[in-house]
Structure 1
């Protein structure tokens, strides 16, 4: 089995490599290709990747290349984990929205739109080249904003599934608090990428005993602290929102906090420099502890599980993925991409049935889906008017003058990445 990772020079990659090495019985890889235009980073990451495989006795071959077409040729699955514009673009995404009193975040709000505009055309070009080289390959997208990017891929007819680590991270957190093994818990995970709620915490699988009341009663303070939300939010909802809901439920507080400290992008950039220096150490043969602070916790386990299920060699039969709605949430169009539990096999994911959602969740999901429709249109066709409409539709913007000011800033900071700007 051959896998290719586009964006293989990312500092995330050793997390992925560690998972491939540990879980080789679930996903028996014979060849892994790391693809990245940044040759210097790629060689550092590739060297560490080979040492991790060697230490753990994995027999697979790891190669590196800057040639996309050669790298994806013959691949059974292609993982996308790229960042167009790098940390410098992320720094801007997290900064200029604050000038308008809006949250500065790389996937949510105006910054998330900027990332989508830069990313969608690049990902579609990559996917088209994958299809020409190997039309049967699955594309697994971890590139943010995952929901919009995955929808672009599916709309263009690609064999694609979106992946996020929010659900698996919460599953591990809840299992630790409840003193259980992660595989014992099934989450009733519903929403859009980075806009989800855990409506239930089931023992043993779908339909099992719901441990949510116990989780909130015994560990509500710990969960709230982890989400950086007041305990009262969990008590009011009776469910657990993802930590990205903080940008909606506590927007103004978050904006004040972001204006008082260095951006997350600055923190990550400094961390990446330190990680790359570590990766260059020829004696390092395991992922360093610092990588856990970089983000993407448990990404490797989720990626292995999904790839194994799609390729028919293992993996959990039910997983959280980003895929077409197709009637799962009846208030959304079939073409919307949702993030839910789904049965996954060689034919792809099929979402599990979802009970009727409380309007508190359904309303926000519908609102953000409308924004994503407009955001994807802007990413595909360009134009200031389409960007402004997408921002006006976003629930964290929604005011004409605000949308206009954000549009001007977005275009000014992204001209080098937008062919039409």
Structure 2
């Protein structure tokens, strides 16, 4: 009873802390519904099944002022349509609008039309993703977000869309909600780069129609003071392709949730991530993939490298519904601990109601292979360089999930630089 009261009071406090944005007629019903959902489910609590390993307190109270660690941009703005957000607020002066006829891009705060294409999409996938696992921070976002982008893709985009984030204030809090709808046969690559704010809550809803392809690569920056809750909700039609990769370098507390539903036959969803943490670092990937059609494939590949007391969490589930025959579901999560003070906690799950499937999951945790380390050092490789090579090799299975070789090499270079800077 005390827990229920605490959750209810926490939900009310969250809604009171986050002022309702300027009204937009086409999405007020979605905001009202999200507020009702949050009040019904309550704020996240440490006794909730999927919050056992990640204390929610830092997502709920006041934002602590923390110094900012400047990070060089990872992706080149010249190669993309760039939208810049400073402390979570769109900055038109630094942004480059798209001239691609296949793309319709608007910022959420500027979408003033009484009837908007996103009216049927905003909050729809988030709502569906609340069952069977409540996701209160996502409901809070839908209810109170005033910033974000709305992207309608009607064909094959000529260049990626880049969301570039710049953090400037010591204690700014950001609430971003993005909606992306790909029509049948369309394709888009979305890049995200940089630290959004001292504390951020982000929702990305992606509706991928039949035969469409969505590729998502994000670099969450290396800010030691970052507290981040991110949520991806995706729905895939027949023959659709969804890919998402996340690179996380340090940060204080990050929780990346993904809820992906394959609703059309022959759809494919790949989600992966590489995280490296040093010291006061907790990184949580919580994934839920539902197979609700035949001949579909999903892959989850997550690798975490931890040192000096850093903590990593992976909670991944594959649900195969009745009738989802010929499902191919793969899940791997691995932690590499560079000292005895760090921890990797994993909770892989399979729930299968079809009989003609191939599903597997595996999770391992260990230290650097001393035999391999000895082999490299005995051939003249300095020990620090040898360890970095083994760490990069460990992470490479996740990076290899990226379809673009040039982007994958860019991420490998960034990882190598981080490791070099954090040598003992």
The reply to whether TM is greater than 0.5 is no
Larger RCO: 1 or 2 (CA < 8 Å, sep 6+): 1
TM-score normalised to the size of structure 1? 0.28
Alignment TM-score, normalising by the size of structure 2? 0.28
Greater percentage in strand? 2
